[in-house]
């Protein structure tokens, strides 16, 4: 009968199951051993260094200006990206924690910062205009979008020039 055949061959069945388990375990150990050099720590050590804040900001702002997304109905996204680029620039260049702050919070931090006084009011004005597009859904004329991006680009360029002069 089948039961008697299984009882007689159980040592062989056990041997096959153990061999499969051993093969799987060796394979698993080998994979762990081979992947140990590709760990997250090893990858982070060889990452590409971050861009300078002014390089990243200028790249993003020039790209937004080139794409003219406000003509395609993407005014809110364009202003959000431009504003975020400037906020990250303020963090990287001046150490102002601006990315997660409101424009009013940033305005309160500006007098104690190294940002040139003439730029402080212009910067707040530009950020407030961007906020009006992002949150109040105000429609700016095309020239205003270009003027805002130009003001941001000018601010980043002048800030970098001042930093280079000080160095």
The model carries a pTM of 0.68
1-21 exposure pattern, b = at least 16 Cβ within 10 A, e = fewer: eeeeeeeeeeeeeeeeeeeee
Of the listed ranges 30-44, 51-65, 119-133, the one predicted with least confidence: 30-44
Could you tell me what percent of the chain has a pLDDT over 90?
Answer: 35
Q: Please report where in the chains the tokens 């997250």 appear, as a residue.
A: 40
46 pLDDT more than 70: no
| pLDDT of the residue at 8 | 85
H-type alpha helices, 46-141 = 53-67, 75-89, 103-109, 117-135
From first CA to last CA, the distance across the chain in angstroms is: 92
Q: CA torsion 20→23→24→28, rounded to 10°?
A: 170
Residue 27 is predicted with a pLDDT of 92
Q: What is the mean pLDDT of the chain?
A: 85
Q: Which two tokens stand for residue 105?
A: 């919070």
Place of tokens 């395609």: 72
Q: How far is CA 31 from CA 26, 27, 37, in A?
A: 9, 6, 11
C-alpha angle 145-146-150 in degrees, rounded to nearest 5: 120
Determine what percent of the chain is predicted with pLDDT higher than 70.
90
Tell me which DSSP letter residue 46 carries. Answer: T
Number of C-beta neighbours around residue 61 at 10 A: 25
Residue 40 clears pLDDT 60, i.e. is over it: no
- pLDDT tens sequence across 128-158: 988 888 888 888 888 888 999 999 999 999 8
């Amino acid at each position: 009968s089948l039961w008697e055949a299984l009882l007689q061959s159980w040592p062989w069945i056990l041997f096959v199951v153990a061999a499969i388990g051993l093969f799987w375990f060796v394979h698993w150990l080998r994979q762990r051993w081979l992947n140990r050099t590709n760990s997250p720590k090893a990858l982070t050590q060889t990452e590409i260094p971050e861009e300078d804040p002014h390089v990243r900001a200028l790249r993003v702002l020039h790209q937004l200006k080139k794409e003219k997304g406000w003509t395609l109905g993407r005014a809110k996204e364009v202003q959000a990206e431009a504003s975020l680029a400037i906020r990250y620039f303020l963090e990287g260049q001046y150490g102002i924690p601006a990315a997660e702050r409101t424009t009013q919070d940033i305005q309160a931090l500006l007098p104690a910062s190294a940002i040139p006084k003439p730029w402080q009011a212009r910067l707040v004005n530009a950020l407030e205009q961007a906020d009006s597009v992002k949150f109040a859904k105000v429609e700016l004329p095309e020239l205003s979008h270009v003027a805002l991006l130009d003001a941001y680009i000018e601010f980043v360029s002048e800030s970098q020039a001042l930093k280079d002069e000080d160095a």
